[in-house]
Amino acid sequence: MTNIGKFAELLLLLIVLTDFAVLGSSRLSACIRAIAIQGVLLGILSLVIDDPRSVHAMALAAGTVAIKGIVLPFFLRWAMREAAVRREVEPAIGYMASLCLGSLAVGASFALANRLPVITTVDLLVPIAFATLIIGLLVLVTRSKAITQVVGYLILENGVYLFGLTQLSRVPFLVEIGVLLDVFVAVFVMGIVVFHVNREFDSISAANLVELRES
Amino acid sequence: MLLLAILLIPAVAAGLAYLLPRRGLRLSLLVLTSVIHLALVAVLWTTPDVTALRGWLVADSLGLIVLTLVSVLFLAASVYAVGLLREESPRGGRLFVTCLLGFLAATSLVSLSHHFALLWVGMESTTLTVAPLIFHRHDRRSLEAVWKYLVLSSVGIAFALLAVFLLATSQPVLPGVRALLLDDILANSHSLEKSWLRAAYVFALAGFGTKMGLAPLHTWKPDTYGEAPSLVGALMSGALTSCAFLGLARFTEVAVAAGLTDFTQPLLIAFGLVSLVIAAAFIIGQADVKRLLAYSSVEHMGLLVLGLGVGGIGVYGSVLHVLNNGIAKGMLFLVVGNLVLATGSSVAADMRGMLKLRPWSAGLLLLGLFAVTGSPPFGLFVSEFSIVSGAIRQDHWIVAAAMLVLLAIIFVGIGGMFLKIIFGTGTTTAIEHEKATGDTTLLLVGPLALAGLVVMLGLYIPTPLQGSLARAAQLLGGIAP
């Protein structure tokens, strides 16, 4: 394996570590830091996987680092300060259990990826994309704070993005920027809603949102 | 040029609406834009298969049907919006009108895209432009509704993006064949890698299915439709879900061309039947009109995928049903909106005997009852009949029988509630809301026009439309009658 390939695999392993950091942490600021690091790692990874000299890869890497590594974490931190919350309260599944489920997800992803045809020279890319996707869903479903749910959505989206890296050279640049911008606006709108949830309920617990149900 | 104009005019108008200082100007801009949009769409019908941006945008038969539906509904809704925002608009309707126009641009993009990633961008934009519209009232309940909607449809849209990437993976690298372009994929459909394509289809069904509100991915729907302004409910249940169906249909076109119908059809039938069962279960005994309409929307989305799933003439019925359901749902939401304006509540028990209080809206509601349950002579009868006969002709006897039973249950459920609203007397006769507004002309024009269209589609389908329906059905693996 080439040095570049090894570097890519190292980055992917670090990405899984950031997934687990979110899964095992109750402090929101730690979750946001983990998601920021993950954004930067994704940006570097897109440079490593494509030809690093292509303008396309460089612009995409810069856009990813700027949006996923800097702007969105900054914005989430702002929402957190506005809402004055620090910790996740009692997730539906405990932290140890979430970590175990996360490990299971990684195992299942490798099993699944082994059964699909090989599409990239970086062996870890597809399984880790699937694992990140599943862990994102897990965070989204099991955590009760609205901000943590946004973090879960971002991890899910990053998993999809990782898979998209296998098709990097084929998807036109404008489309990638469109995707990136859409994610940006989505999180922005969610952040605004989080802000309103805080004002209305004096807490950003999505668990408070239970008024609407079938009677 | 024409296609770009259809996308850019609403987008530019959206920006302009935010800058305009006065409400009157903003509302005129809204109506003017929707009239121009509809006029441009009408021109598209006279010039078939217009292409722009090297094949990224094409007005093909299926896309044009959805685009026309969106444009017609939007015109009806924007006239209604003028009537509504005159009565109540907390913040001058600035963000409201901007998001409405943005929604028109996004749905037009979905209808015209022949590039899967571009279609995805359009789909995601519809979610984002509609979220502030749901939150229009700025209270707790609408906040909860918008949060549920954002979280669920964001997950759905992430799955749809994965489906797009999986589709790209299934496409081998061939010289001169562009990735993710529908026409290039269809022209080389034999070379697609089947296992990746199956994965792509599963995620497309889950992703666009969430946006359509197929059971069991429908849980956002009753809350969102229940809390959003009726006008937004009309656009979502008529236009937005049809665009999501179009997304699924594009993936279906590819799957059909690659010979995967044996894989896709059972999946579609299963989702369709589950949606019908869930809709029937929650329509019986429902207390809130808007939530009832939401479950009725789950029902009709189920019928759409059932039609695709049974194949044959069912596919034709399905494409026709997109139009019929969109128009009927749009009309019903606007009419129910009028009743809510009169009584200040969307609980059915608070709005009995509306025939005396609001004769026009109550009459339209009666019409809507028969339209939405698929009685003759309305358009929905024709399309539902085609879907059932498709099921019978393809030897899906059990599916056809289950459909008929469930449709009958739903008819009883909706009929029971609507008839009480229209004719009911009893102790809780409607108390006129203190700020109640009458059935003004502006609030009635839209629903009346839509009612006319849904009757027309039941009696007579214009020749160009008939041709488009047949071509669309063929692309999706079906046949025309």
3-class secondary structure for chain A? CCHHHHHHHHHHHHHHHHHHHHHCCCEHHHHHHHHHHHHHHHHHHHHHHCCCCCHHHHHHHHHHHHHHHHHHHHHHHHHHHHHCCCECCCCCCCHHHHHHHHHHHHHHHHHHHHHCCCCCCCCCHHHHHHHHHHHHHHHHHHCCEHHHHHHHHHHHHHHHHHHHHHHCCCCCHHHHHHHHHHHHHHHHHHHHHHHHHHHHHCCCEHHHCCCCCCC
Which comes out higher in pLDDT, residue B32 or A76?
B32
Look at residue B244 in the predicted model and tell me its pLDDT: 97
Tokens standing for residue A173: 């640049």
Enumerate residues 91 to 130 of chain A having a beta carbon within 8 A of any beta carbon in chain B.
Answer: 116-117, 119
Enumerate residues 165 to 194 of chain B having a beta carbon within 8 A of any beta carbon in chain A.
Answer: 165-166, 168-169, 173, 179-180, 193
Q: Do B135 and A193 lie within an 8 Å CB cutoff?
A: yes
| Rounded average pLDDT over B41-69 | 90
Averaged confidence pLDDT in chain A = 83
Q: How confident is the model at residue A75 (pLDDT cuts 50, 70, 90)?
A: confident
pLDDT surpasses 80 at B90: no
Confirm if A116 and B196 have CB atoms less than 8 A apart.
yes
* Radius of gyration, alpha carbons of chain A: 18
Residue range B402-424, pLDDT digits in tens: 999 999 999 999 999 999 888 88
Q: Which of A176, A196, A204 to mutate to test the interface with B (most CBs of B within 10 A)?
A: A196
Enumerate residues 129 to 158 of chain B having a beta carbon within 8 A of any beta carbon in chain A.
Answer: 131-132, 135, 138-141, 143-148, 150-151, 154-155, 158
Q: How confident is the model at residue B302 (pLDDT cuts 50, 70, 90)?
A: very high
Q: Do A211 and B141 lie within an 8 Å CB cutoff?
A: yes
pLDDT surpasses 80 at B456: yes
Q: Does A75 touch chain B (CB under 8 A)?
A: no
Q: Do B151 and A116 lie within an 8 Å CB cutoff?
A: no
Q: Do A209 and B147 lie within an 8 Å CB cutoff?
A: yes
pLDDT surpasses 90 at B277: yes
Residue B184 to residue B54: CA distance in whole angstroms: 12
Q: How confident is the model at residue B310 (pLDDT cuts 50, 70, 90)?
A: very high
Confirm if A156 and A140 have CB atoms less than 8 A apart.
yes
Residue B83 to residue B219: CA distance in whole angstroms: 31
Secondary structure of residue B114 in the 3-state scheme: coil
Which residues of B fall within a CB distance of 8 Å from A135?
none
Residue range A37-67, pLDDT digits in tens: 999 999 898 888 876 667 777 888 888 899 8
Nearest CA in chain A to B130: A189
Q: For residue B229, is the peptide bond before it cis, meaning its omega torsion is within 30 degrees of 0? A: no
Secondary structure of residue B432 in the 3-state scheme: coil
Residue B128 to residue A193: CA distance in whole angstroms: 12
Residue range A162-195, pLDDT digits in tens: 988 888 777 776 667 777 777 877 887 777 777 7
Cα torsion through A41, A43, A48, A50, rounded to 10: 150
Please give the model's pTM, rounded to 2 decimal places: 0.93
What is the phi/psi pair of residue B395, to 5°? 65, 30
Closest approach of A178 to chain B, Cα-based (Å): 6
Secondary structure of residue B257 in the 3-state scheme: helix
- ipTM field: 0.89
Look at residue A206 in the predicted model and tell me its pLDDT: 66
Q: Do B155 and A156 lie within an 8 Å CB cutoff?
A: yes
Confirm if B302 and B274 have CB atoms less than 8 A apart.
yes
